[in-house]
Each structure stands twice: as C-alpha cells, then as structure tokens.
Amino acid sequence: MSVIHGVFILWITMILLVLVHNLETVEGRHHSHKKGKKNQHPSPSYNAPPTVPSDPGNSPSDCNVFDVRSFGAAGDGCSDDTGAFREAWRAACEVESGVVLAPQDYIFMITSTIFSGPCKPGLVFQVDGTLMAPDGPENRPEEDKRNQWLVFYKLDHMILNGTGIIQGNGEQWWDLPCKPHRSPEGEPVSGPCDSPAMIRFFMSSNLVVAGLKIQNSPQFHVKFDGCEGVLINEVSLYSPKLSPNTDGIHLGNTRDVGIYNTIISNGDDCISIGPGCSNVEIDGVTCGPSHGISIGSLGVHNSQACVSNITVMNTKIRESDNGIRIKTWQGGTGSVTGLRFEKIEMENVRNCIIIDQYYCLSKGQGCLNQTSGVHVNDVSYRNIKGTYDVRTPPIHFACSDTVACTNITMSDVELMPHEGHLLDDPFCWNAYGVQETMTIPPLDCLRQGQPDTLIELSQYECN
C-alpha cells in the first residue's frame, strides 16, 4: 500500500509542476488589477496553480487571457452568452497557457456546449462569476445535447478553477415523469427524464478541478469518462437531499485520480466509481446528506467490470442512506480488488459498511439469481467509527452465491446507534475474511480464512 501511495503522490507532484510552470507568469502579468485574487485555500496535499485576477472594472489586456466579455458576453443572467464562451475558448485553445476568464460579479447563461481539444498545454477555464444553465427543460434549446451541459473533450493539461459558482438550475428537471424517487413524506414520486449531466470530461488527461462551487445539477454534477490523471481539490458540490440521480463526482473508465478536501451534499452518491477505474485516492472529503461513497454498480447486463486500487481515508459521512458501499449486479464477471477504507467517521448513517452483490433497480424478473458474479476480493476496513441509523444493521455483507467475497479485513470498527438500542445482528452471506480486532457490533457471521471450495477464478480476472 505504501508503494502505491508513494507512486500516486509522485504522479500528482509531476502534474502540478507542469501546470504551475505553464501558468507561473500569468498572475505577474496582471499585477496592476486592484481587485485581483489569489487562491485562499492552501492544502497539504495540493498546491493550487495561480489564478488570473478577476476585475470587472478592467478588461485584462494580456494576449493569453480571454475575458468572455471581450467576445460579447453580457453577463446579465438573461442573455445567451454561449457564443462568446465558444469564441473565447477557440482563441485560448490556440495559445500556450491560455485562460478563458468568466469574471466575478457577472452571471453568464450558456446552453449545452462541447469545449473540444486538442489545445495548447496549460489551458485554464476560470470561473470567478456565476456560470448558469438555462432554467429547466422548457428553456433549453431544442438543438441542445439532452444528456449533458458542459463537455470538455480530448484535452490534456487543462484546469477548471475559480472562486465562482457553476449553477445547474436542476429544480424543474427533478420532477419530470420518468424515474421514481422519494418525496419529503417518503412516498415514491416521479423523477428525472433525460436530464443532463452538468459537467463532463471525456477522453482527456492531466486535469485539475479546483476551488469552485458546483450546485443543483439536473443529474450528475461532474463526470469523468475515459480519463487519465485527474486531480480534484477544494470543490463544493451541492443539491438537495431529495434531488434524484444527482451524484456528486462520477468516475467511469478513469484511472489515476485524487479527490481531496472536497464537500459534497446531494441526493445520490457523493462519489460513484464505475467499471474500468483504478488507482483512485479519496482523502479529506465530507459527504452528506447523500447516498454515501459507492463502488458500482458493476456487472449490469452480464458485463465484465474491473475496479482496483481504491483508497478512501480521512473522510466524514453524515446523515446518509449508505456509508461505504460496493454494489454489483448478478450475472456479471470481473473483479473488485485492492480497496482500502481507513479513518472514516460516520454520523447517523444507514448501512455504514455494505457489500451488495444482489443490486437491482426493480424486484421483477431482472433480479432472479444468476450463476456468476463480480468477484470482491482484498477489501479492508480500518478505523471506521461513529454512529448509525438503527433502521438497518450497520454492517451488511451480501456476497454472491457463486463467487464468495474473500480477504475482507476488519480492524478498529466501532459503530454505535445514533439513538435507540444497539443492533447486534450484522448480516453476512458467503463472506470470508479476518477480524484483527473486536468489531462493534460483533461480527460473528464473517467466516474465517478462505472458502472450502474455490471456483475457477480465471474467468473473473481482469487484465
């Protein structure tokens, strides 16, 4: 584990050195701006690159800084500023260390846009004002991409940062008649239909997202698909507790990721990690209310799913439906391996620790038992403490009938009821591992060692 951590920190350092080198002269070129700002949130694990001072009273004159107002953006919260942002992007893309600047004290409304590369290295998209989506589906142009709003595509060494807000205006999307979710009274009601993800990075590498407030997405807030080398630091993501499918950060087929010092409160998973992800470190995250941090869902439609080397540490989860969860569909193949959950504080959380290999969205025919499953192996839970919601036991290991969960390690796990009586009946099914210390509540159902009969695991291995 120490070797993996060391390599990961070295990779983070290399990215930051390159990005800071590309941007180190930008702030100096704008020293004359009276209202210039620097990043005010230093972090022990991340040194933020310098930002361009954002002074609404003066337009930046440097040839590498492209203020969207210079391209016709009104910034009044009503006018469509999409064209100005596209023009500013094209200009910044063509120069090294180019900066697209949305200055403070302005509200820019733009429609669905794909910001494409390749671009010259060191490109910065800096939001110091408010960047806002159209208000609901009726105000969304027909030609817009229905499932995404802002897309960053085929980019390398790019930064999305600033001191401002990216506002998704998702309220009207959440009640469209498509997917059920819970009302404030707990009853099932309709949910989002064809709702757009707010920010998507696709087929890109060496990315930094820092400092921003991202809120009220119609669906997922930030997605990374097919990316490599992602650093997220000091970002705030928010949507109401009952907003459906509003995952905070979603990773799919993405590797070498660091998520640090970030606050997430939403209506679905704080962080969801899908198939094809590896080498992910989550440190210093505050999560909740939410559905917790999830690995999965994996193996849908009998697919192969491969996830490895995930670490979650120094994290707080509060007022959430789940804590740290692994969820897989029956019938899948592949493996989830090398997961480390360490120093996690729970506050009034249902299902604090859960492996669910019978995940299904309905109780119909699609949930029948199948003869294969994703292999869950080498998962450790260390120093997991706090309180749980007594409506469900705090530990739940429901492993596949066919492929047992193996090499689960429990150490210093102490979970007490938030209110009410201690539930001393954690659930285990076909789960094997070791308790290095006594667990609270007692976990007598975890089987020691390995299964007596191990099936041929080669079909579940990932390359």
Q: What is the CATH number of the domain that holds 5?
A: 2.160.20.10
Assess whether 230 and 313 both reside in one domain.
no
State how far the alpha carbon of 234 is from the alpha carbons of 40, 214, 286, 323, in Å.
Answer: 10, 11, 11, 21
* Catalytic-role residue among 221, 291, 375, 396: 291
State the residue range of the domain holding 84.
Answer: 1-29+41-47+60-260
pLDDT digits (tens, 9 = 90+) for 403-419: 999 999 999 999 999 98
State how far the alpha carbon of 138 is from the alpha carbons of 134, 145, 168, 302, 440, in Å.
Answer: 9, 14, 14, 37, 52
Assess whether 244 and 273 both reside in one domain.
no
Q: Residue 455's pLDDT is what?
A: 64
Q: Residue 451's pLDDT is what?
A: 87
In the residue annotation, 33 being an active-site residue is answered as no
Q: What is the DSSP letter of 353?
A: E
Question: Is 54 domain-assigned?
Answer: no
Assess whether 164 and 74 both reside in one domain.
yes
Which portions of the chain are predicted below pLDDT 50?
1-4, 7, 16, 18-46, 56-61
Q: Residue 187's pLDDT is what?
A: 62
Assess whether 251 and 289 both reside in one domain.
no
Query: Count of domains in the chain?
Result: 2
How far apart are the C-alpha atoms of 311 and 283, rounded to whole Å? 8
Nearest to 353 by CA among 380, 376, 373, 375: 380
Tokens of 400: 């596949």
Sort 420 into a burial class: Cβ within 10 Å, 0-12 / 13-18 / 19+. Answer: exposed
Residue 186: partners with Cβ closer than 8 Å, 6 or more residues away: none
Assess whether 249 and 290 both reside in one domain.
no
Assess whether 240 and 355 both reside in one domain.
no
Nearest to 237 by CA among 209, 260, 212: 212
Assess whether 218 and 150 both reside in one domain.
yes
Q: Residue 181's pLDDT is what?
A: 57
How far apart are the C-alpha atoms of 37 and 42, rounded to whole Å? 14
